[in-house]
Structure 1
Amino acid sequence: MHKNQLALEAIKEGKWEEAAKYFAEALEENPNDPVLYVNFGNLLASSGDAERALKFYEKAIEIDKGTATAYYGIGTVHYNAGDYHKAKTFFDQAEKYGLAHKDVYFMLGMSLYQLEQPRLALPYFLRAVELDEQDASAHFQYGLCLAQAGHIQEAKKEFEKTIDLDQHHADAYYNLGVAYAFEENREEALKMFDMALSIQPDHLLAGNGKRLLEEMI
């Protein structure tokens, strides 16, 4: 078995030091393989060593500027560091060089959402759910953007889909409650807030929403 594959198997088993050893050996044998640099970068990023991970991603691009997964890796590092402008730039590059995975579209959407541009994020979240209808997080984020754009009925469907996929998604219940409250359906809104609180008793927003509705009633 190739040492790159041995490293990936080691990662699956949680043996990170062993994986790093295999990657290092693989790079000694194939120093111009960009995939090895990306995989080693992913390992370093997962272990919290973002600075070294960036160097490995950058080396992969130096060898082959079309290494889409390296751009995605750099984008993820910048996103985790809170630099959403840079993150979006590199996710765009990943897509440009052919990475059409739903995670790319999801992270493009997340970057724009963090940049307070939910309308621009909408098509990316839509594409993410089209590529993976079982992704609860993508449905939830898509719902948030729809709600902020004023498309309440469509947002409700996405929150309901989120709950179908993840029955313990407190935020989806809360936001569904907000949507019902917006429609002045206070009874259903209260049910949703109660569901959110049953899953997460310290959910402050759901608690506040419930209190306000009860006062109104």
Structure 2
Amino acid sequence: MDMNQRGIEAMQEGNFEEAASIFSEAIEANPNDPISYINFGNLLSAVNELDKALKFYDKAIELDEDAATAYYGAGNVYFNKEKYHEAKNKYEKALKKGLDHGDLHFMLGMSLQNIGQNRLSLPYFQRATELNEDDTDARFQYGLCLAQLDLVDEAMKQFQTIVELDEEHADAYYNLGVAYAFKEEVKKATDMLEKALNIQSDHLLAGHALKILKENKEQ
């Protein structure tokens, strides 16, 4: 087993000091290998040493400008620092360099959303759900995006899939309730909102929506 693999395993087991020691050794043994710098950057990100992590990702990119995972790691650092424009740029670079996994598409979608470009985030959330059909976080954001674009039926399909994957997803039931209310299907809307509240009794939005539905029914 090579040093990088040993370091990754130590990191996965929560032995961060051991992992740091192994990655340092790997860098000393082969200072021109970008993988060791990326791994050390991932370790530093995991312990929230974000500025230090960024230096390691930058060094990896300096050694190999096609190191897609280094751009992805740097994107995560910027996202965690709430620098969403910078995060978007790094994620786009990772995509351009050939990285195509669900987490990258999800994070690029989240970055676009955080800078107010909801419409542009839609295809990335869609791609994230295609690459990982069980990712309820990506599917939920995809559903929200569809709803914001008034694609209510398509949004409902996503929320329905979520509650099939996770019966305790209160927010998905809430959004189904809102969608049914929008379609004036009051009984179904009420059922969905009550399910949300059964799961999360302090779900303020669901409680408020249910109250409005009942008031309208009484009038």
State TM-score, norm by structure 1: 0.96
- Specify the alignment match of 1:130 in structure 2: 130
Gap regions ≥5 residues in structure 1: none
- Whether 1:71 aligns to 2:77 is no
Separation in structure 2 between the aligned mates of residue 52 and residue 200 of structure 1, nearest angstrom:
39
**Cα distance, 1:179 vs structure 2:** 0.7
**Cα distance, 1:116 vs structure 2:** 2.1
Separation in structure 2 between the aligned mates of residue 35 and residue 199 of structure 1, nearest angstrom:
44
- Local SS of the residue matching 1:32: coil
- Specify the alignment match of 1:16 in structure 2: 16
Deviates more, 1:157-166 or 1:193-202: 193-202
Kindly provide the CA deviation profile for residues 52-80 of structure 1, in whole angstroms up to 9, marking residues without a partner as x.
10011001001111111111111111111
| Aligned residue pair count | 217
Kindly provide the CA deviation profile for residues 139-168 of structure 1, in whole angstroms up to 9, marking residues without a partner as x.
111100000000000000000111111222
Q: Which runs of 4+ in 1 moved over 2 A?
A: none
**Cα distance, 1:49 vs structure 2:** 0.7
**Equivalences for residues 103-118 of structure 1 within 5 A:** 103-118=103-118
For the aligned residue pairs, the C-alpha RMSD in angstroms reads 1.1
* Paired letter, 2:165: L
* Paired letter, 1:70: A
Separation in structure 2 between the aligned mates of residue 199 and residue 48 of structure 1, nearest angstrom:
33
- Local SS of the residue matching 1:48: coil
Kindly provide the CA deviation profile for residues 174-200 of structure 1, in whole angstroms up to 9, marking residues without a partner as x.
111111111111221121112112222
- Specify the alignment match of 1:25 in structure 2: 25
* Paired letter, 2:199: I
- Local SS of the residue matching 1:157: helix
**Cα distance, 1:87 vs structure 2:** 0.9
Separation in structure 2 between the aligned mates of residue 146 and residue 46 of structure 1, nearest angstrom:
33
**Cα distance, 1:88 vs structure 2:** 0.6
- Specify the alignment match of 2:150 in structure 1: 150
Separation in structure 2 between the aligned mates of residue 28 and residue 52 of structure 1, nearest angstrom:
18
Separation in structure 2 between the aligned mates of residue 154 and residue 36 of structure 1, nearest angstrom:
43
* Paired letter, 2:124: Y
- Sequence identity of aligned pairs in percent? 56
* Paired letter, 1:197: L
- Specify the alignment match of 2:98 in structure 1: 98
State TM-score, norm by structure 2: 0.95
Gap regions ≥5 residues in structure 2: none
Separation in structure 2 between the aligned mates of residue 37 and residue 199 of structure 1, nearest angstrom:
44
Separation in structure 2 between the aligned mates of residue 22 and residue 33 of structure 1, nearest angstrom:
14
- Specify the alignment match of 1:34 in structure 2: 34
- Local SS of the residue matching 1:65: coil
Separation in structure 2 between the aligned mates of residue 203 and residue 80 of structure 1, nearest angstrom:
27
**Equivalences for residues 48-59 of structure 1 within 5 A:** 48-59=48-59
- Specify the alignment match of 2:61 in structure 1: 61
